[in-house]
Chain A
Amino acid sequence: MANPELVRPGVALRDDELRRIAERLGREPSVVELHAFDAQWSEHCSYKSSRHHLKRLPSEGADVVLGPGQDAGILHLGEHAGERYGVVVAHESHNHPSQVVPYEGAATGVGGIVRDVLCMGAEVIAVADALRFGKVDDPGSHARYVARSAVDGIGAYANAIGVPNLAGDVYFDAGFDDNCLVNVIALGIVKESEAIASYAPPGAGGWDLVLVGKSTDPSGFGGASFSSVPLDAGDEAANKGAVQVPDPFLKNVLMRASYRVFNLLHERGIAAAFKDLGAGGIMGCSAELAASGGYGADLNLDDVNVAVDGMAPEVIAVGEAQERLLWALPPEATADVLRIYNEEYSLPEIAHNARATVVGRLTAEKRYVLRYRGAVVMDVAVEFLTGSIRDELPYVEVIRHEPEGAELPAVDVERAFPRILAHPDVCSREPLYRHYDWVVRGTTAIARDAADAGMLVPVPGSPLAVTLSIAGNPRLGRIDARYAAERAVLDAVRRTVAVGARPIGLTDCLNFGNPRKAEQYGELVAAIDGLDRAARELGLAFVSGNVSLYNESSAGVAVPASAIVACVGALDDVSQAIVPGLKSAGSALLWIGSRELAVGGSVLADVLGIDGPLPSISYDAERAAIGIVAGAIAAGTLLSCRVVAEGGMLTALARLAFDARRAGRALGAELDFGNPLCEAGGFLCEVRDAPVVDVSGTLKVGTTIAEPRLIVNGTNFDVGQLYDVWSKPLAEIYP
Chain B
Amino acid sequence: MSGAIAVLVFPGTNSENETLRLLRDCGGRAELVHWSRGETLGDFDAYVLPGGFAYEDRIRAGAISAHDRMMDFVIGGAQVGKLVMGVCNGAQILLEAGLVPGTGPIRRPAAAFTDNAPVPHFVCRHVYMKLAVAPARSPITAALPDEALIPSFAAHGQGRLAADAAQLDEIVAGDRLAFVYAHADGRLDDAAVPNGSALGCAGLINAAGNVLAIMPHPERDAWNFNHLDRRQGSDVLAPSGGSVLFASFVAAVDAR
Taking the complex as a whole, does A directly touch B, i.e. does some CB pair lie under 8 Å apart? yes
Interface residues of A (CB under 8 A from B): 155-156, 159-162, 249, 252-253, 256, 343-346, 349-350, 433-446, 457, 460-463, 465, 573-575, 577, 579-581, 663-664, 735
Q: How far is the CB of A365 from chain B (nearest CB, A)?
A: 40
A selection of 15 A-B contacts at a CB cut-off of 8 Å is A159-B14, A159-B122, A162-B52, A252-B13, A252-B14, A252-B53, A253-B11, A256-B9, A435-B122, A437-B155, A439-B155, A440-B155, A460-B21, A461-B237, A579-B229
Contact with A along B99-133 (1 / 0, CB 8 A): 00000000000000000000101111100000000
Within 8 A of A (CB), among B50-69: 51-53, 55-56
Q: How far is the CB of A466 from chain B (nearest CB, A)?
A: 12
Given contacts A440-B51, A446-B228, A664-B184, 19 further A-B contacts (CB under 8 A): A159-B155, A160-B14, A161-B14, A162-B14, A249-B12, A346-B36, A433-B124, A436-B124, A437-B124, A439-B226, A441-B15, A441-B17, A442-B17, A442-B220, A442-B226, A457-B225, A461-B237, A580-B229, A663-B229
**A346 touching B228, Cβ below 8 Å:** no
CA A441 – CA B50 in complex, angstroms?
11
**A442-B18 CB under 8 A given contacts A249-B12, A249-B53, A344-B36:** yes
Q: How far is the CB of B235 from chain A (nearest CB, A)?
A: 9
Among B13, B56, B121, B223, contact of A442 (Cβ-Cβ < 8 Å): B223
Can you name the residue of chain A whose Cβ is closest to the Cβ of B221? A439
CA A574 – CA B13 in complex, angstroms?
28
Can you name the residue of chain A whose Cβ is closest to the Cβ of B24? A460
Q: How far is the CB of A110 from chain B (nearest CB, A)?
A: 14
Q: How far is the CB of B48 from chain A (nearest CB, A)?
A: 14
Which residues of chain B come closer than 8 Å to A346, judged between CB atoms? 11, 35-36
**A443 touching B228, Cβ below 8 Å:** no
Number of interface residues of B (CB under 8 A): 39
Tell yes or no: B41 within 8 A of A by CB. no
Among B36, B184, B226, B229, contact of A343 (Cβ-Cβ < 8 Å): B36
Among B18, B121, B228, contact of A579 (Cβ-Cβ < 8 Å): B228
Q: What is the interface of chain B mostly: helix, strand, loop, or mixed?
A: mixed
Within 8 A of A (CB), among B142-193: 153, 155, 184
CA A441 – CA B219 in complex, angstroms?
9
Can you name the residue of chain B whose Cβ is closest to the Cβ of A159? B122
Tell yes or no: B136 within 8 A of A by CB. no
Which residues of chain A come closer than 8 Å to B53, judged between CB atoms? 159-160, 249, 252
Q: How far is the CB of B72 from chain A (nearest CB, A)?
A: 18
Which of B11, B220, B225 gathers most chain A CB within 10 Å? B225
Tell yes or no: B208 within 8 A of A by CB. no
Among A160, A437, A445, A580, contact of B225 (Cβ-Cβ < 8 Å): A445
CA A436 – CA B18 in complex, angstroms?
18
Can you name the residue of chain B whose Cβ is closest to the Cβ of A253? B11
Q: How far is the CB of B117 from chain A (nearest CB, A)?
A: 12
Q: How far is the CB of B213 from chain A (nearest CB, A)?
A: 19
Q: How far is the CB of A150 from chain B (nearest CB, A)?
A: 15
**A350-B155 CB under 8 A given contacts A155-B122, A435-B124:** no
Interface residues of B (CB under 8 A from A): 9, 11-15, 17-18, 21-22, 34-36, 51-53, 55-56, 119, 121-125, 153, 155, 184, 217, 219-223, 225-226, 228-229, 236-237
**A249-B11 CB under 8 A given contacts A440-B220, A445-B226, A575-B236:** yes
CA A564 – CA B51 in complex, angstroms?
34
**A442-B155 CB under 8 A given contacts A575-B236, A663-B229:** no
CA A345 – CA B36 in complex, angstroms?
7
**A442 touching B229, Cβ below 8 Å:** no
Among B13, B35, B153, contact of A439 (Cβ-Cβ < 8 Å): B153
CA A6 – CA B48 in complex, angstroms?
60
Q: How far is the CB of A198 from chain B (nearest CB, A)?
A: 25
**A435 touching B121, Cβ below 8 Å:** yes
**A441 touching B18, Cβ below 8 Å:** yes
Q: Give 7 nearest A-B pairs by CB, closest first.
A: A162-B14, A442-B18, A249-B56, A439-B220, A575-B236, A663-B229, A579-B228
Q: How far is the CB of A271 from chain B (nearest CB, A)?
A: 27
Which residues of chain B come closer than 8 Å to A575, judged between CB atoms? 225, 228, 236
**A440 touching B14, Cβ below 8 Å:** yes
Which residues of chain A come closer than 8 Å to B55, judged between CB atoms? 249
CA A579 – CA B34 in complex, angstroms?
38
CA A481 – CA B56 in complex, angstroms?
43
Which residues of chain A come closer than 8 Å to B21, judged between CB atoms? 442, 460
Q: How far is the CB of A638 from chain B (nearest CB, A)?
A: 14
Which residues of chain A come closer than 8 Å to B222, judged between CB atoms? 442
Which residues of chain A come closer than 8 Å to B34, judged between CB atoms? 344
Q: How far is the CB of A656 from chain B (nearest CB, A)?
A: 13
Which residues of chain A come closer than 8 Å to B223, judged between CB atoms? 442, 457
CA A735 – CA B217 in complex, angstroms?
23
**B121 touching A735, Cβ below 8 Å:** yes
CA A344 – CA B9 in complex, angstroms?
12
Which of B11, B22, B153, B222 gathers most chain A CB within 10 Å? B11
CA A153 – CA B120 in complex, angstroms?
15
Can you name the residue of chain A whose Cβ is closest to the Cβ of B14? A162
Which residues of chain B come closer than 8 Å to A457, judged between CB atoms? 223, 225, 237
Q: How far is the CB of B241 from chain A (nearest CB, A)?
A: 11
**B153 touching A445, Cβ below 8 Å:** no
Which of A155, A440, A465, A579 gathers most chain B CB within 10 Å? A440
Which residues of chain B come closer than 8 Å to A442, judged between CB atoms? 15, 17-18, 21-22, 217, 219-220, 222-223, 226
Can you name the residue of chain B whose Cβ is closest to the Cβ of A462? B237
**A463 touching B237, Cβ below 8 Å:** yes
Which residues of chain B come closer than 8 Å to A574, judged between CB atoms? 225, 228, 236
CA A735 – CA B17 in complex, angstroms?
31
CA A156 – CA B53 in complex, angstroms?
11
CA A575 – CA B220 in complex, angstroms?
18
**A573 touching B236, Cβ below 8 Å:** yes
**A434 touching B11, Cβ below 8 Å:** no
Which residues of chain B come closer than 8 Å to A434, judged between CB atoms? 123-125
**A440 touching B12, Cβ below 8 Å:** no
**B18 touching A350, Cβ below 8 Å:** no
Among B12, B35, B153, B229, contact of A160 (Cβ-Cβ < 8 Å): B12
Q: How far is the CB of A190 from chain B (nearest CB, A)?
A: 16
Which residues of chain B come closer than 8 Å to A249, judged between CB atoms? 11-12, 53, 55-56
Q: How far is the CB of A481 from chain B (nearest CB, A)?
A: 36
CA A344 – CA B32 in complex, angstroms?
14
